[in-house]
Structures are given as C-alpha cells and as structure tokens.
Amino acid sequence: MKPEQITAWALNQLTAEEAAELEAKLHQNPDEQTEAVGTQEFCQFLSSELKDDSLALTEAQRQRLMKPRLEVSKPASLSFKPKPLQWWQRPAFPMAAAAAVIVFGVGAGIYLPSIQESTADQGSLTASDDERAVEIRMKLPSLSQVASKPEQKGVLTTPKAKPKSTSDQIASMSALDAPESLLASGAELPPSMMQKQVGTDSIVSEVKNSEKIGYGGLAIAGTSTATMGGTIIISSGKLENSVGAIFDPPQIPTNIGGDHQTNTDSYGQISENALTSVSREPLSTFSIDVDTASYSNVRRFLNLNTQPPRDAVRIEELINYFPTEEPGPEPKAKQPFAVKVEMASCPWQPQHRLARIHLKGRDLGQEHKASNLVFLVDVSGSMSSPEKLTLVQRSLRLLTERLNAEDHVALVTYAGGTEVVLPPTNGTQKATIIAAIDRLQSGGSTHGSAGIQLAYEQASKAFIKGGVNRVILCTDGDFNVGISTPKELENLIQEKARSGVFLSVLGYGRGNLKDHTMETLADKGNGNYAYIDSISEARKVLVEQMQGTLVTIAKDVKIQVEFNPAAVRDYRLIGYENRLLAKEDFNDDRKDAGEIGAGHSVTALYEIVPANLKPGESPVLAVDPLKYQPEQMASPLKSPVAPQSEIEALTVKLRYKEPEGVTSKLIEVPLKDDTRQIDKASAELKFSAAVAGFGLMLRDSSYKGELTWSRVRQLAREGKGKDALGYRGEFLQLIEKASGGKN
C-alpha cells in the first residue's frame, strides 16, 4: 500500500468503501497495520490541539501586528539590524526537529493542508487575515520536560536564567526567552516581550496579558500567544519554526489560558467499594455496564498532559472499553452470551486472589437488523466549538454511510426550541440525510427535555417491530431549560424506554461536560454511553462496533456472586460503584439493569482474601467474633478449611431477559480456585488486571497495595495479544503518559 493511501485513511479522507478495503488489507499485513496505526495516532495528535477560541486576535492586537508583518514581508525595508543566530536557529536544530517528525509521522512528507478537515475533534486556531486557518493536533513533551535534560547540540533546551527578581526578569526578557514558569504565572509582560527579530526575519508574537495565557512554551506567529525557544509560523498550510524546520510544539493542558476559562465539567462522586466480610455478606449483586465513556474521557485528559479527575475514572468502563479475543456463545446456544470465570493471584496484593467474570455477547456477523434511528442533536450555544457540533456532524455522517434500504433515519435538534430537521427518511437517501446533518448550526439555550420528547415521537412514527428502534443523543449534557434535574430526566427516559425505543448517548466536548447526567440518561434509557473525543472514537463506536452499540441481545442483565466462607474470607468488587443492587433485586424482574449489545464484552473483577490466610499474612485483618451469631459464622479462620483446589470458591449467577421479554432467565457458573499465579493466568486476565491497576493508580486508590507503573506495563504487554485494531497498543502509550516515565 502506498503511504498516501495510509495517510488519507489516517486523516479520514477515504470513502467508507475505500476505508473498509484498506482496513481489510491492513489486517492481513501486521507490519503495515502497525505503521498505519502509528500514522493515525500522529495525525490525531496533529488534528486536535490549539483549538481554544481565546487564541483569536482582537482588533487592537491585529492592528499592532499588521504593520510589523508588512515590514517583514519586504526584506529590503527592514529597519533594524539582524541579530546573530541563536542556538535554536543553527542548522543542527532544524535537522533534529525534522528527524523527530520523521519518527513520529512515519511518512515524513505529511503536510498540514491535507488535514484541514480533520480537526473537528479538538478545535481550530485562526491566524491573521493573510494566513489560512490550519487545524492541528500535536504530541511532544512539555518544554519543562525538555528543559530538564542536559543541553546537547541540536536539541532544544532552556537556558538557565540568572537569579533575578520577577520584575527584573520581565524587564530584561523578550517573549522568546521567557521561562515557562513566568508565562504560566500570568504576569503582565512589557512591550519588550511583544516582538523579537529572528535571523533575517522578524517574527511577531503577542502575549494576551488580559487573559493571562501560559502555555508552557507554546509559540504561534501571527496569533495571540506567548513565545519561547523559537517561533512557530502557521502559513501556507505548514507548521514551521523560525528557521524553516518542521516543528512539533508541546501539548496544551486543559486549563488553557489560566483562570480565565472556567471548567464546569461534572462527574458523579465515586466511593470505592470496600472489602466485605463473607460471614456478614456472602452475596454481591450488581447490574452489568457496557458504557465506555470513562476510558476515552481519561484518554483525552492524558493526551492533554493533564491528570483526570478521580471521579472521571470509572474502572469498569476502562476495562470494558477493549474488545476481547474470547469466543462468544455457540451458534445454536440458547443463551445470548458466553460466561467465563477464572482466578489467579492478585498483582497488587500477592496474598490475595483476583477473580475475573467475563460475558461475551453473540456476534451477529453479516446479519443486519432493520433500524429506526433518530439522531437527536444538541445545537445550543454550549455546542458551538469544533470538538462538539462539528465532530457530531462528522460522527453522524460515518453512521449514515452504513445504512441501507431497511433503515430509516430522522433528525431532531433542540436549543431554546426544538425542530424536526429531517422526518424519517430511508437509509438509501444518504445525500439527503448528510445534507440535513451539514446544515446544523449552534445557538441558544438548552431545552433538552423537549428535544427528547420530540425525538421519541419521531421514533414512534417509524417504529419497526422486531427491529432496532433507538434515539441517539449527541450532546455535552448541559440541560438548562425545562426538565433539568437528573431525577426528572431519569423518569422521562424510563417511561419512554418502556415503549421499546432505547436511548444511546454520545458525549462531546470539554469544559462543560455533564458526564453524570449523560451516564444517567443512557442507563435509564436501556442504552449505552460513549464519549467521543475524536473521529477515530466515533468510527469505533458507530462503525466498528455498530452492532453492539445499536442491537441489544439481552436486557436487564444482573450478576450475583455467592462466596463460600470456607474458601473466601473477604471480597471487593472493583468498580461498578454506581451499579450495585440489593441482594433481593436479583430475583425481582421489575428491577431495571444493564443491556448487552451484539458482540459486546463485559468484565468484572473481584479482589478476594482467601479464608486460609492467617492473621498477619494479609493487610486485611480478621474481625472479632460476633456476640450474637455462631462462632464459625463470625470467624471462618477458626473453622476447618479444605484445600482451595478441592472446593468451590464462588458461584456466579446471571439473570437476563430477551430484548422484548418480561421474564428473566438464570445461568449459574461455579469456580474452584486452582491456586495459579498471575504469570500463569490467561492473557485476558492479565490485561484486565493491567487496566484495573491503571485505574487504581490514576485514582490513587487506597487499595492499590504494592502496585507500580512498572507492574501495570508488564501486565499490559503480556496481555496485549494480537491487538488487530491497535486499542491495546494505544493503552500502553497512555500508561507512559499517566506515569510520566515513573516505575
């Protein structure tokens, strides 16, 4: 395959048919697939950063900039004497920078004009009038990381400043020399820092002091940013430093612009499940969860070199993000999913055991169920940024390309009011559907409840009995008009879900993300919740896993685990904190629970304290005997204990309903502990343990025990497997970002 084809695929410039053909070829060639995934990751980084609207020039700034820019456009009219080349302008620097681009970009000839439409996932940066806006995504260590390394010839470093007062430093520096800490402080900068002559060119940069921007060394000529260590020019579709070398700037943290940008993201509070005594609570009951939003949201934070909030890290969603290679049920099996249970030593508490419960849904293969879809799009003012509405449009276009004559699509929008932009339309009329999607514009308040009601009305009009009937809500979750409290929205969605129309929620954007609201809507609407941070994630959710996203094969799926006190002293369910059920709920068919889509994988992990551990052998201490219960119930340690391999440690029970059923069915799977160590466990258990450990480390959990980043890396590598789609390889990269290179 030609590099141009791979690049076009990475930039999402191929048609659906061309992309499918290329991906099929890549799957047959692991080496080219690895190269293609690397190219795609690089392009994604290039296509998403530098999107904050605060980078746009004000009129006053533009006037100050235009005269110097006109002067530098005519070298003969330079009114000042060129300064000697600085260390970053010498030939070694552009050579090193170009080499870095070759390594990261795979194809060294990637020019940014080819990615002008690939920036919807993170936003855009507008340069001055004579420069075309170029949307880019970047990946490099922050300048502070580079500066911490010894200075080498041709390598960008930060000169050590002499000890001075802050005022003296400011007065004596230009913007190009300003240290990261000074720019990040938001200090007022004097005119001497507003421009600097570089070689034979005069490159002008301006710091927007009124908004106190500190970007850790970011420099964009012709835009309103601070500058350091060489100016970056956005012109003619190329990103260059001041001496003409292709240059990859550092990433921007989520608090762009200091305090001027208010972050109103909201997450439901998570209190981690505690170790529970089997003698007191032998049953653990919860609803399954196929949501994956937390993983892509955490990835977004880490790609911006920012630590995610603790409550944004839902460990079960991290684990369930990854498709597994384990087989589903046999074609003639009565159950819609296969169940596998296994156990090994726990990586973060070696004296403990780690049990893995895995469900794999039936894959429909080439079978296609007729679909009645309603795209419900939030077009309120909060959706105006490119990583929101623009990315929504691109996402829905991907799904539209997969529709056929059996499908119907309607398009409903809401802001201050609601509108049926497109009534139910046959899937073959793709041009009509896409034209309606492309016409969407944002503005106004957010009357979400009215939009949901109207969307369900449209879904009811085109209802397909036995088919897929689903509303796909695209929003940042900010409902500020009409019904806006989570409880009221829950009741509305639950009522509509009983009609047989389910709800999927796709979250977009940052800074105003109402994560808890969107998760609640999806749960009550018998659907799933995914966070879309890039066009690649949209392709994963709406193309690669379309059947799992849209086609429900089992609903109200509950898991109840009974632990044997002769083998288990204590247990802890890892994650699923907001999915816990009372033990009585397991047999109550009126109790709502989670849904499994076609081909979906669902995994749950339990940390287990064996009953045969003596006091002092585990960090978890046995409790005192109970006064009003038999001694053997209160303290299993004093009861005779059979060898673990000879007795059942636990039994997993599952209840589920058919998609249109009202009575649940039961599955039971017992497990004996064969005492195997984690190094002898299956690759899937190792990888699940790595992802769980990743979450424990990000949350700085009190249950992380002896876990280290090095151990997380090792487990992830050992459990990576074939990784045909590259998701696990990407996870290994996120480990490096999260750990900062620490062991």
392-427 pLDDT, tens per residue? 999 999 999 999 999 999 999 998 788 999 999 999
State the pLDDT at residue 338: 94
Take residue 5 and report the two structure tokens written for it: 């084809």
Give the list of residues 6+ apart from residue 395 with CB closer than 8 angstroms, or none.
474, 506, 532, 535, 538, 542
3-class SS at 669?
strand
Tokens 């959706």 belong to 383
The pLDDT value given to residue 253: 39
- Average model confidence (pLDDT) across the chain: 75
HSE (side-chain half, CA atoms, 13 Å) at 158 = 22
Mean pLDDT within 493-510:
89
Look up residue 518 and give its two tokens.
């969107």
- What is the torsion angle, in degrees rounded to the nearest 10, for the CA atoms of residue 383, residue 385, residue 387 and residue 393? 60
Report yes or no: 545 and 291 within 8 Å, Cβ to Cβ.
no
| Residue 125 predicted with pLDDT over 50 | no
Two tokens, residue 643? 């060898």
Among 233-242, 608-617, 663-672, which range has the highest average pLDDT?
663-672
- Three-class secondary structure of residue 296 per DSSP: helix
Asked if the model's pLDDT at residue 4 lies above 90, the reply is: no
Query: Looking at per-residue confidence, does 614 or 651 come out higher?
Result: 651
pLDDT of amino acid 158: 39
Burial class (CB in 10 A: 0-12, 13-18, 19+), 132: middle
CA distance linking residue 247 with residue 140, whole number of Å = 10
Least confident interval from 12-26, 447-461, 620-634: 620-634
The whole-number pLDDT of residue 313 equals 97
Q: Are 441 and 413 in contact (CB under 8 A)?
A: no
Of 554, 604, 599, the closest CA to residue 576 belongs to 604
Cα separations in angstroms, 477 against 251, 416, 497, 508: 26, 15, 19, 8
- Tell me: pLDDT of 699 over 60: yes
User: How, if at all, do strands 418-426 and 529-532 pair?
Assistant: unpaired
Model confidence pLDDT, tens digit, residues 512-540: 888 988 898 899 899 999 999 999 999 99
Which residues are within 8 A (CB) of 113 and not within 5 positions of it... i.e. 6 or more apart?
134, 237
Per-residue pLDDT band at 47 (split at 50, 70, 90): low
Query: What are 547-559's pLDDT values in tens digits?
Result: 888 999 999 999 9
Q: How far apart are CA 516 and CA 477, in angstroms?
A: 8
What is the band of 674 on the pLDDT scale with cuts at 50, 70, 90? very high
Q: Give me the pLDDT at residue 24, please.
A: 75
Backbone torsion region of residue 179, taken as left when φ is above 0, otherwise alpha when ψ lies between -120 and 50, otherwise beta: beta
pLDDT of residue 644: 61
β 349-361/337-346 pair status? antiparallel
Q: What would the mean pLDDT of 280-293 be, rounded to a whole number?
A: 94
Sequence-separated (6 or more) residues with CB below 8 Å from residue 274:
572
CA distances from 351 to 567, 616, 684 (A): 14, 11, 21
Q: What are phi and psi of 663, to 5 degrees?
A: -115, 135
**Which pLDDT tens digit goes with each residue over 578-616?**
999 999 999 999 999 999 999 999 999 999 999 988 766
Which residue shows structure tokens 């330079």?
A: 78
Q: Are 727 and 694 in contact (CB under 8 A)?
A: no
Cα(649)–Cα(275) distance, integer angstroms: 16
List the one residue out of 694, 742, 695 whose CA is nearest residue 717: 694
Question: Are residues 445 and 384 in contact, defined by beta-carbon separation less than 8 angstroms?
Answer: no
**pLDDT-wise least confident of 68-82, 201-215, 373-387:** 201-215
Q: Quote the pLDDT of residue 98.
A: 53
Sign of CA dihedral 133, 138, 142, 146: negative
- Cα distance between residue 317 and residue 193, in whole Å: 47
Using pLDDT thresholds of 50, 70 and 90, give the confidence band for residue 92: low
* Run of H or E residues at 286: strand 283-287
Length, in residues, of the chain: 743
Find the helix or strand (DSSP H, E) in which 99 lies: helix 92-105
Spell out the long-range contacts of 183-192 with Cβ–Cβ below 8 A and sequence spacing 24 or more.
183/207, 183/213, 183/214, 183/215, 183/216, 183/217, 183/226, 183/228, 184/214, 184/215, 184/216, 184/258, 185/214, 186/212, 186/213, 186/214, 186/258, 186/259, 189/226
Which residue shows structure tokens 């106190």?
212
The pLDDT score that the predictor gives to residue 162 is 44
Beta bridge partners of 359: 339, 602
pLDDT for 626 beyond 80? no
Q: What is the mean pLDDT of residues 356-360?
A: 97
Give the DSSP letter of residue 340: E
pLDDT mean over 277-282: 93
Question: Is the pLDDT assigned to residue 463 strictly greater than 90?
Answer: yes
Sole residue written with tokens 């456009």? 73
pLDDT at 310: 95
What is the per-residue pLDDT for 1?
67
The residue type of 133 is A
Q: Hey, what domains does the chain have and what are their CATH numbers?
A: 47-260 (no CATH), 276-364+553-739 (2.60.40.1230), 371-539 (3.40.50.410)
> What burial letters (b/e) apply to 314-353, b meaning 16+ CB within 10 Å?
bbbbbbbbbbbeeebbeeeeebbbbbbbbbbbbbbbeebb
DSSP state of 154: T
What is the predicted pLDDT for the residue at 555?
A: 92
Counting other chains too, the contacts that 37-42 makes at CB distance below 8 Å and 24 or more residues apart are 37/726, 37/729, 37/730, 38/106, 39/6, 39/7, 39/10, 39/105, 39/106, 39/107, 40/9, 40/10, 40/536, 40/726, 41/139, 41/730, 41/733, 42/10, 42/104, 42/105, 42/106, 42/110, 42/139
**Residue 35 reports pLDDT greater than 90:** no
